[in-house]
Chains A and B, each alone.
Chain A
Amino acid sequence: MKKISTGNKAVAEAVKQVVPSVVAAYPITPQTEIVEQVAEFVSSGELKSRYIAVESEHSAMAACIGASITGVRTFTATSSHGLLYMHEMTNWAAGARLPIVMANVNRSLGPGWNIWAEHTDALQERDTGWLQVYVSTVQEAYDATIMAFRIAEHNDVLLPVMVNLDGFLLSHIMQPLDTVDVGDFVPSIHLPHAIDVKNPTGYGGLTGPDQQFRFRWDIERSIRDSVTVIAETEKEFAKRFGRKYGFTEDYQCADAEVIIMALGTLGKEAEVAVDLLRKEGIKAGSMRLRWLRPFPNLNLKGKQVVVIDRDYSFGRGGILATEIMAQTKEAVFSVIAGLGGQEVTYEDVAEFVRKRRMGEEFWFGVNSNV
């Protein structure tokens, strides 16, 4: 069904389709609209879920964990400080192998109080064992949320999935949305280690130095296995609903000499910049990274890469740039742009490419003459 929706409402529509038994959530700008909409669906009876209005994000994730281990489907949503507040529990969720799905609306971190888009929140969760996907349109927010449940709950994965959408730039903008009838695309959940009172088991108790690493390795093995599950899920989604997704979204990359890489809406903006640059005779392409975990194998051989980071790791550099540099020998021009919602237009992106200085880092708005 075609409609017009915000990114936030698209996520809520997707949640309505897959019917989690338990939703536990706490409000935070710019995510609030997701949980308000879910609460509205529950209240009106359109969604048969139990909605727990917890008193904090730490408790939101703890409640999702407690619900999930009984073998039911769970969902939550958060942003920024909320995500950081639940950090202890995001680690727990992955370690406990619970297929919780969470929407995270990417937002800057304080101080100062800045509610605008930035990816540092989710990237600080990079090493928790969660799968992370970054979306760029309202439609993609919807589609990725549906697929997240199927991927998380797949018995070769059994890890939580975080769907990331840019605060305001995507959470609050209106775009066309085509909703689908999910049907059995997301099969009913079967958690092999669900609590069974007839077969009492201890979960997460004392684990010695001779065992803990085995559990860590199991997480890594499943994350590696998730590559196949993600690919299969996206292929099946395309077959059923006609929309194709991959680990990256490539635009004019085949013959490109310089590739622009970014997460989220900036990655989409880069496609317009590519068109501009191509008109000027610059062979540019765009490769928007969708999945950060698992990190895909990227084919960047022989290309110059301009990475735009809406995030930063102090004392090291742009987080995405650092990840890409770890995978390619090609020269990278690292641009730090869009922090705390700083406006970055496709003209700006084109300018980063025109004036690229390979091997260097450039802070947009701080350093002069790109």
Chain B
Amino acid sequence: MNNNDRSTTAPRVHRSIRNHLQELNTIPEIPKEEYILKCTSACAGCSDSLALRYVLKAAGPDTVLVVPACCTSVIQGIYPNTAFNVPVYNIAFASAAACASGMSNAFRALGKKTNVIAYAGDGGTLDIGIQAMSGAFERGTDFLYICYDNEAYGNTGMQRSGGTPLGARTTTTPAGKTEGKKDIDAIIAAHDPPYQATACAAYPQDLFKKVTKALSFRGPTFIHILAPCPPGWRYSTEKSVEMGKLAVKSGMWVLYEREYGKLTIGAQSKAAMKKPLPLEEYLNPQGRFKGIDPKTVEVLKQRIAKNFAKLSAEEAAP
């Protein structure tokens, strides 16, 4: 045995827990333990900290977070304090997955099963971190990579990223982004990981279940979380959960999971596919889409329909 290889993608013993969850398919019992302590330095209404709260409840105390430059490096608080009750290893922007790769190998060399979770924003995943992430997935690294996606460089004041959707205004796309959102999930799928999922901070129980499931696999797993951002998307702070739900109901965000290549679309997204909420209901409350060209809205609608069709076909395929 020399390294973390692809031959190890067989599920671990926790598989039984996963089956149990699948069978129940009901509200999971979420632990009362808190790993995000009070007094984080997050913005009001931050859904990154909401998502991370449930990620860590699912992962439990035998977990290390590897965090590149992103909002999460800020919301931990300032040295010598930390608001997180698991070890957090902060690392340079491009290298979350590479650092996690080394850490996972070292823990396994020590005979420890400690969960290694790379927790990165959309910039650190879709843009600057994509090479290291692709490498870690290709090598079959035993870790969970979570991208929490607020669709721009939030930490530096909302500049466009590869995750910014078409038409969204950011400080570097003041007239609205002219390109679409990079399909990182398709890129991850091309690495054929044992498990990948999308989630949204507005659906914490779904997120909790998916993190629990992801951590039951050996090998690289991926969860892409949509994380609505009040200052970045320019909506009022109490609406973060509502905004996440509108994203799913309108089809701008689709909840699904892919296990050994087999796609399952979430119930919320299936409902949205049958009868999507008018996209304007998602766009209009957000300042970033203010004054968006109706033609651009049409393009977004076409892309939603195309994405629905693609995913439905994949799910239906034998």
With A53-B139, A63-B98 already in contact, the answer to whether A195 and B79 are too (CB < 8 A) is no
Number of interface residues of A (CB under 8 A): 46
Question: Given A58-B94, A65-B95, 8 other A-B contacts at CB below 8 A?
Answer: A39-B2, A59-B132, A68-B102, A200-B82, A202-B76, A203-B90, A205-B77, A206-B77
With A204-B91, A207-B78 already in contact, the answer to whether A62 and B138 are too (CB < 8 A) is no
Report the bound CA distance from A42 to B1 in whole Å. Answer: 9
Residues in A whose Cβ lies below 8 Å from that of B3: 50-53
With A63-B105, A65-B102 already in contact, the answer to whether A202 and B64 are too (CB < 8 A) is no
With A58-B132, A70-B110, A197-B63 already in contact, the answer to whether A202 and B102 are too (CB < 8 A) is no
Q: How far is the CB of A68 from the nearest CB of chain B, in Å?
A: 8
Whose C-beta in chain B lies nearest to the C-beta of A203?
B89
Q: Which of A66, A68, A202 contacts B79 (CB 8 A)?
A: A202
Q: Is the CB of A55 within 8 A of B138?
A: yes
Q: Is the CB of A206 within 8 A of B131?
A: no
Q: Is B134 an interface residue (CB 8 A)?
A: yes
8 smallest beta-carbon distances between A and B, as pairs: A55-B135, A63-B102, A66-B102, A59-B98, A62-B95, A202-B82, A66-B103, A62-B98
Q: Which of A62, A88, A207 contacts B99 (CB 8 A)?
A: A62
Residues in A whose Cβ lies below 8 Å from that of B64: 195, 197
* B58-103 interface with A by 8 A CB criterion: 61-64, 66, 73-74, 76-80, 82, 84-92, 94-95, 97-103
With A22-B109, A56-B135 already in contact, the answer to whether A66 and B98 are too (CB < 8 A) is yes
Q: Is the CB of B82 within 8 A of A205?
A: yes
Q: Is the CB of B134 within 8 A of A55?
A: yes
Q: Is B114 an interface residue (CB 8 A)?
A: yes
Q: Which of A52, A70, A92 contacts B107 (CB 8 A)?
A: A70
Q: Is the CB of A207 within 8 A of B79?
A: yes
Residues in A whose Cβ lies below 8 Å from that of B132: 55-56, 58-59, 62
Q: Is the CB of A206 within 8 A of B78?
A: yes
With A52-B102, A58-B94, A58-B98 already in contact, the answer to whether A200 and B84 are too (CB < 8 A) is yes
Q: Is B187 an interface residue (CB 8 A)?
A: no
Q: Is A69 an interface residue (CB 8 A)?
A: yes
B-facing mask of A174-202, CB < 8 A → 1, else 0?
A: 00000000000000000000011110111
In the assembled complex, 8 residue pairs joining A and B whose CB atoms fall closer than 8 Å, in A order, are: A54-B101, A55-B134, A55-B135, A58-B94, A62-B98, A88-B92, A196-B87, A202-B77
Q: Is B106 an interface residue (CB 8 A)?
A: yes
Q: Is the CB of A205 within 8 A of B106?
A: no
Q: Which of A53, A59, A72 contacts B95 (CB 8 A)?
A: A59
Whose C-beta in chain A lies nearest to the C-beta of B134?
A55
Residues in B whose Cβ lies below 8 Å from that of A211: 79-80
Q: Is B108 an interface residue (CB 8 A)?
A: yes
Whose C-beta in chain B lies nearest to the C-beta of A92?
B92
With A200-B87, A203-B87 already in contact, the answer to whether A70 and B103 are too (CB < 8 A) is yes
Q: Is A43 an interface residue (CB 8 A)?
A: yes
Number of interface residues of B (CB under 8 A): 49
Q: Is A145 an interface residue (CB 8 A)?
A: no
Report the bound CA distance from A211 to B4 in whole Å. Answer: 38
Report the bound CA distance from A149 to B101 in whole Å. Answer: 22
Chain B binding site: helix, strand, loop or mixed by DSSP?
A: mixed
Q: Is the CB of B105 within 8 A of A22?
A: yes
Q: Is the CB of A69 within 8 A of B92?
A: no
Q: Is the CB of B76 within 8 A of A205?
A: yes
Chain B residues with a Cβ under 8 A of chain A: 1-4, 61-64, 66, 73-74, 76-80, 82, 84-92, 94-95, 97-110, 114, 131-132, 134-135, 138-139
Q: Is the CB of A63 within 8 A of B101?
A: yes
Q: Is the CB of B76 within 8 A of A66?
A: no
With A53-B139, A55-B131, A205-B79 already in contact, the answer to whether A69 and B89 are too (CB < 8 A) is yes
Whose C-beta in chain B lies nearest to the C-beta of A208?
B78
Residues in B whose Cβ lies below 8 Å from that of A89: 92, 95
Q: How far is the CB of A17 from the nearest CB of chain B, in Å?
A: 18
Q: How far is the CB of B67 from the nearest CB of chain A, in Å?
A: 9
Residues in A whose Cβ lies below 8 Å from that of B78: 205-208
With A195-B87, A205-B76, A208-B78 already in contact, the answer to whether A50 and B105 are too (CB < 8 A) is yes
Residues in B whose Cβ lies below 8 Å from that of A195: 64, 87, 89, 103
Q: Is the CB of A66 within 8 A of B2?
A: no
Report the bound CA distance from A205 to B80 in whole Å. Answer: 9
Report the bound CA distance from A66 to B252 in whole Å. Answer: 36
Q: Is A24 an interface residue (CB 8 A)?
A: yes
Residues in B whose Cβ lies below 8 Å from that of A59: 95, 97-98, 101, 131-132, 135
Q: Which of A52, A63, A197 contacts B61 (CB 8 A)?
A: A197
With A22-B109, A204-B91, A207-B78 already in contact, the answer to whether A52 and B101 are too (CB < 8 A) is yes
Q: How far is the CB of B296 from the nearest CB of chain A, in Å?
A: 36
Report the bound CA distance from A157 to B232 in whole Å. Answer: 44
* A19-72 interface with B by 8 A CB criterion: 21-22, 24, 39, 42-43, 49-56, 58-60, 62-72
Report the bound CA distance from A196 to B63 in whole Å. Answer: 10
With A58-B94, A65-B99 already in contact, the answer to whether A206 and B86 are too (CB < 8 A) is no
B-facing mask of A94-111, CB < 8 A → 1, else 0?
A: 000000000000000000
Q: How far is the CB of B143 from the nearest CB of chain A, in Å?
A: 10
Whose C-beta in chain A lies nearest to the C-beta of B132?
A59
With A51-B3, A211-B79 already in contact, the answer to whether A200 and B85 are too (CB < 8 A) is yes
Q: Is A74 an interface residue (CB 8 A)?
A: yes
Report the bound CA distance from A60 to B31 in whole Å. Answer: 37
Report the bound CA distance from A318 to B308 in whole Å. Answer: 63
Residues in B whose Cβ lies below 8 Å from that of A206: 73-74, 76-79
Report the bound CA distance from A234 to B97 in whole Å. Answer: 38
Whose C-beta in chain B lies nearest to the C-beta of A48?
B109
Residues in B whose Cβ lies below 8 Å from that of A55: 131-132, 134-135, 138
Report the bound CA distance from A322 to B249 in whole Å. Answer: 66
Residues in A whose Cβ lies below 8 Å from that of B105: 22, 24, 50, 52, 63, 67
